[in-house]
Amino acid sequence: MKKRFLGVAVGAIAGFSILAACGEKTDVTVKDAGEVNVYSSRHYDTDLALYDDFTEKTGIKINRLESGADALIERIQNEGEYSPADVLVTVDAGRLWRAEEAGILSSVDSEVLRERLPEYLRHEDGLWFGLSKRARIIIYNKAAGKPDVLNNYADLAAPELKGKVCVRSSSNIYNISLMASLVATEGAEKAETWAKGVVDNFARKPQGNDTAQIKAVAVGECEVSIVNTYYLARYLASPEAADNELFNSIGIIFPDQGGNGTHVNISGAGVLKHAPNRENAIKFIEYLTEESAQQYFANGNNEYPAVETVEASSAVEAMGDFEESQLNVAELGINQTEAVKVFDRAGWQ
């Protein structure tokens, strides 16, 4: 058994040697500072700049391995105690919960992280920490006009929107997390009633990603949808006139203002149970909450900073201020299983 796991770990290290393009310096300072092995499901160029900046500031070399979140979690489980992975970085609190349930994360007691991050964006036992935020908002076709009935998530089930709503599949983690938040705040019964109402309003069978929903609303294939803010902000920030024109054809609603607040989700990270470079792993996550790193997240990928004192100047900020939900994002994982059941009962494919 040990030989099998050791073989897996060697394979992972070999993978690092191929994929670890960051922190390639070979001077004595870097060697003395050690390294940190990062498994990440984020595939953004701005993250590479973050890695380079961390190495420049600390001398700690970063080795990274990228794949889908579920694949990385399974890989870490298979590698077991021989895993070279120090940090898991992923998108969506639901996926962090999956890592938590898999038993691969370890608790971190960091005064730095407790002070910088609000309580609702981190695990109560320090198993993971939110690093950036994205809001799930409602969009509408400006040419068709804003539906009078539409202001909140609940309104997506209004009969006046019959045949006007397009959405992603219920298997999408963003929708699962939104439903999990509704289960947490409203209860499963009310959440199911809402989901059935939305299903009745579908303009088409659930399909495509958030970008597909934006384009469908822009061309009038449907009038209303739900998307993450950073997808829409890409069109505003684009140097292409056609993208700007598409953005200008879309109206934006931050739901539940004056109520529970707009649903937000996170990208986050946790230190792994068998991390061989635990101290460097903690330093890395603490670095990601520094102001300069938070600016990379916000301005490079149109996300919102997780650290409340940091102000961003990205396109997402130009979309307007809003009140966000203060629900602890851990609830998005805790209620994930029930959320999937609610979707199934409602017939949301």
Spell out the residues 6+ positions from residue 115 whose beta carbon is closer than 8 angstroms to its own: none
CATH superfamily of 2-131+266-311: Periplasmic binding protein-like II (3.40.190.10)
Q: What percentage of the chain exceeds 90 in pLDDT?
A: 81
Domains of the chain, by residue range, sit at 2-131+266-311, 133-263+323-346
CATH superfamily of 133-263+323-346: Periplasmic binding protein-like II (3.40.190.10)
- Provide the greatest CA pair distance for the chain: 67
**DSSP category for residue 267:** E
pLDDT (average), residues 130-155? 96
pLDDT for residue 5 is more than 80: no
The reply to whether domains 2-131+266-311 and 133-263+323-346 share a CATH topology is: yes
Q: In whole angstroms, how far apart are CA 156 and each of 82, 124, 198, 227?
A: 48, 33, 6, 13
The predicted structure's pLDDT at residue 17: 39
pTM confidence score: 0.86
**DSSP category for residue 156:** G
- Look at residues 41, 327, 77, 314 and name the one whose alpha carbon lies nearest to residue 185: 327
User: Tens of pLDDT along 227-252?
Assistant: 999 999 999 999 999 999 999 999 99
**DSSP category for residue 325:** P
The predicted structure's pLDDT at residue 7: 38
Planar angle of CA 223, 152, 207, nearest 5 degrees: 45
Give the torsion sign (CA, 335, 67, 134, 199). negative
Query: Tokens representing 248?
Result: 């200008």
The predicted structure's pLDDT at residue 346: 97
Instruction: Please give the Cα distance from 236 to 11 (Å, whole number).
Output: 42
